A and B are shown apart, each in its own frame.
Chain A
Amino acid sequence: MSEYNKAEFARDLEVDTFRGFRDHLQVGDRAPKGTLVDLADGTEVQLKTLWRSGPLFLEFGSFS
């Protein structure tokens, strides 16, 4: 199992990650770009194309 896709929940409750969030990115910064897969049709989507014509709201999450 990879370091990112952990098989177990972190015993430290990811406290350091939560603390680091404040300084990780700043409002006003350029949003990180990337490629995602659209679940509807399996196509690749470049994130930067989604904010080209208007604002974009992103929520991150998972089933668990």
Chain B
Amino acid sequence: MFVYTREAHPAENAPAHRSMDDKLAMARRFVERWGVKRRMLVDALDGSLHRAYGTLPNMSYLVRRGGRLAYKANWTDAHTIRAALEQMLREQADADSGVRLTPYTVEWQAMRANDRGAFMSGLLDAGPRAVQEFIDAYRHSYGDKVAQPLQDWWDANRGDQ
């Protein structure tokens, strides 16, 4: 399932939602833009569920049958989700075979590919303001040197923006 939240980078083409109609319309645009096949569920305008789960822009969770959290990630990555689902399938197979199971906890800091160009292009879909505000935030938080590659991308790709 996909849970549609507030706009992470509100801008010209994806403004902050003022109503539930706004939010539903943006969710439809998202489904069309990316060809989403999964069931799309839209959170309340005040983000009550998004906030209950941590308010991050692209987090993911795996919930066990019955409602206990089995997996949480501060970013969505297909590889780790696949590993978590495969683990869950193994557990189910064991349970079906009558194997006695007991819980344990793993902490795992994974590394994911970070395609700067693809990310910045995604921001540009939302509008040039999304790109500029992200660069400004990077500059504010990390300084000019760290923000410069982002600025270089924008300078090379802004075209008529």
Binding site for B on A (CB under 8 A): 1-2, 4-15, 17-18, 20-22, 24-40, 42, 45, 47-48, 50-64
Contact = CB atoms under 8 A, between A and B. Distances in A.
Given A18-B74, A39-B27, A55-B63, A63 B58 contact: no
Name B's interface SS: mixed
B88 A55 contact: yes
Contact of A27 (B4, B72, B140): B72
A48 B67 contact: yes
B88 A60 contact: no
Nearest to B47: A4
B53 interface: yes
Interface of B: 1-11, 13-18, 20, 24, 26-31, 33, 38-72, 74, 76, 81, 85, 88, 103, 105, 122-123, 125-126, 130, 133-134, 136-138, 140-141
A28 B37 CA distance: 29
Contacts of B49: 32, 34-36, 47
Given A21-B54, A39-B31, 15 more contacts: A4-B51, A5-B10, A5-B16, A7-B10, A12-B137, A27-B70, A29-B69, A31-B68, A36-B49, A39-B42, A55-B64, A55-B70, A61-B2, A61-B8, A62-B26
Contacts of B60: 57-60
Given A26-B69, A58-B60, A59-B58, A1 B18 contact: yes
Contacts of A4: 6, 46-47, 51
A9 B137 contact: yes
Contact of B57 (A8, A51, A60): A60
Nearest to A9: B133
Name A's interface SS: loop
A36 B64 contact: no
B69 A63 contact: no
Nearest to A57: B62
Contact of B41 (A6, A9, A28, A36): A36
